[in-house]
Structure 1
């Protein structure tokens, strides 16, 4: 399937993005040349478009491609420092939805720095819209059309290879800090990627990333536990999961069916989503068989 071109024009996309920004700062007559990218999906798109020379900083979630890590880090997407952002003298902030805190965004507005917000979403269509929005803001709509089509074709190819004979129940565990399990419910990026990769979300009956009860975990019938590949307080080993009073009772943990994938790759819904689908589908086939 070739990516359907968005019905809106490039100028309309930019206008909508500016309207959805924290304020209505006018677009500069010249395309921005000193951009702070906030959000890993946005940063990956800028690099995939070949426009990375215009980036002067990035946020902490922007860890791919590896070259992005060399850019100055202005903080976590929801805990940005106005001083850090302004220190790189940007002419635009290009951000995923949800950047903050609001006080920082207001300070940036007062400093006359446009903050363009790129709509999120976790569907094939949403990815294409993200690509086209970023490309329009950067003034390279032709590159955007080509990249959106390429990414959608990669997603289609990945999905075509999935064995749909068995759709394992997958529980996405965001964190087990303090023994409390945070899971990915319905209408989340975790739910979406599990479905695209041929699985079923075992966390039902609630939306968002929220604590899940012990009873819900035990009765979920989870055949696979899916986690982000990371360390720190939010991480948990298979031994930790086996020792957990509810996770330890799931078929997934009892047979050691634990899958770890890089968080930005898995949940970013950007230019690497085709790879994420392939990697997750292969892992599910391996551990759930």
Structure 2
């Protein structure tokens, strides 16, 4: 029977029944929808570490970022996020003003009293232990995945990066010949410093198949002529930012302390972006893959 053969009153009654059924279904379904995980508001995040911010972008959670610290410069879009200051000089007022649900930082962030104030205000504070290991990178991925409610994506990212890391470390382990002596110079200001043990630079040198030319102390010390003569590095490693602070590579090599080193005679220098080089973030396998052949070329 076609629509034209039905009486108008019957059509009106049928449509009314359809609308009533639809309304009844919607009312019953609404509470179920509200309780589903998909309907929950995604957490608002502040990241205090350039490497942690990188992970947020790789997990596709950048839309949840309401603030980052001043070390968060990669990818380029991160530079446009509201800034909460330098990672070691945070303020509770600045963090809380952005109304985050979670702040993700490392144990190098602070001051600790500020993070305690943020916790007291009811904001979740996630702290990643930084120990300059591949495990640190893994922990950053896991913590961001949990805080951003993107744990499945985090597991997939970690599996991919674990495979990349294993491959590059196999290449480093298979290298033949003498390990180069590498000196790391931190020179973002007028007073250059060199790295000893228990630093990110020390760990990176080892992962890339080199030996830290300076040992016997932890942390950083001023770069002196005596230290350079003792270190006798085959290669000098520094950041792109250090070179920029000096006004270019030629100006960098003009420092009299460096003239006492074998690296100076060969102008053996390796530079990378500071966050890529020392950040212990998801680009770590790429950084080591770039450094290793350059290290080995210095002693070939």
With normalisation by structure 1, the TM-score equals 0.81
Find the aligned partners of 1:46 and 1:116 in 2 and give their Cα distance.
14
How far 1:181 moved relative to its partner? Answer: 3.5
Matches within 5 A, 1:235-254: 235=246, 237-254=248-265
Moved over 6 A (4+): none
5+ residue gaps, structure 2, are 1-39
For residues 138 and 31 of structure 1, do their structure 2 counterparts lie closer, same or farther at Cα, with a shift above 3 Å needed? farther
How far 1:85 moved relative to its partner? Answer: 2.0
1:147 alignment partner, SS class:
helix
Structure 2 equivalent of residue 191 of structure 1: 202
Matching residue within 161, 177, 180 for 2:171: 161
Structure 2 equivalent of residue 283 of structure 1: 294
Find the aligned partners of 1:228 and 1:39 in 2 and give their Cα distance.
17
Find the aligned partners of 2:120 and 2:210 in 1 and give their Cα distance.
47
Structure 2 equivalent of residue 26 of structure 1: none
Structure 2 equivalent of residue 126 of structure 1: 136
Structure 2 equivalent of residue 137 of structure 1: 147
1:269 alignment partner, SS class:
coil
Quick check: 1:259 aligned with 2:270?
Answer: yes
How far 1:116 moved relative to its partner? Answer: 1.5
How far 1:176 moved relative to its partner? Answer: 7.3
5+ residue gaps, structure 1, are 1-29
Q: Which of the two has higher C-alpha Rg?
A: 2
* Structure that is richer in helix per residue: 2
1:206 alignment partner, SS class:
coil
Please give the root-mean-square deviation of Cα atoms over the aligned residues, in Å.
2.4
How far 1:93 moved relative to its partner? Answer: 0.9
Find the aligned partners of 2:188 and 2:72 in 1 and give their Cα distance.
24
Q: Indicate conservation of the 8 Å contact 1:241/1:248, yes or no.
A: no
For residues 286 and 76 of structure 1, do their structure 2 counterparts lie closer, same or farther at Cα, with a shift above 3 Å needed? same
Structure 2 equivalent of residue 88 of structure 1: 98
Tell me the alpha carbon deviations over residues 180-239 of structure 1, each in whole angstroms, 9 at most, x when there is no partner.
Answer: 431111121111111111111111111112335432221111011111111588546444
Count of matched residue positions in the alignment of Structure 1 and Structure 2: 259
Quick check: 1:227 aligned with 2:238?
Answer: yes
* Structure 1 stretch displaced more, 157-166 or 253-262: 157-166
Q: Indicate conservation of the 8 Å contact 2:243/2:252, yes or no.
A: no
Find the aligned partners of 1:201 and 1:232 in 2 and give their Cα distance.
20
Q: Indicate conservation of the 8 Å contact 2:188/2:241, yes or no.
A: no
Tell me the alpha carbon deviations over residues 99-139 of structure 1, each in whole angstroms, 9 at most, x when there is no partner.
Answer: 22244334423433222211112222232232222222333
Quick check: 1:173 aligned with 2:185?
Answer: yes
How far 1:246 moved relative to its partner? Answer: 2.4
Q: Indicate conservation of the 8 Å contact 2:90/2:114, yes or no.
A: yes
Q: Indicate conservation of the 8 Å contact 1:120/1:130, yes or no.
A: no
Higher relative contact order (CA 8 A, sep 6+): 1
Find the aligned partners of 2:268 and 2:242 in 1 and give their Cα distance.
19
Q: Indicate conservation of the 8 Å contact 2:43/2:149, yes or no.
A: no
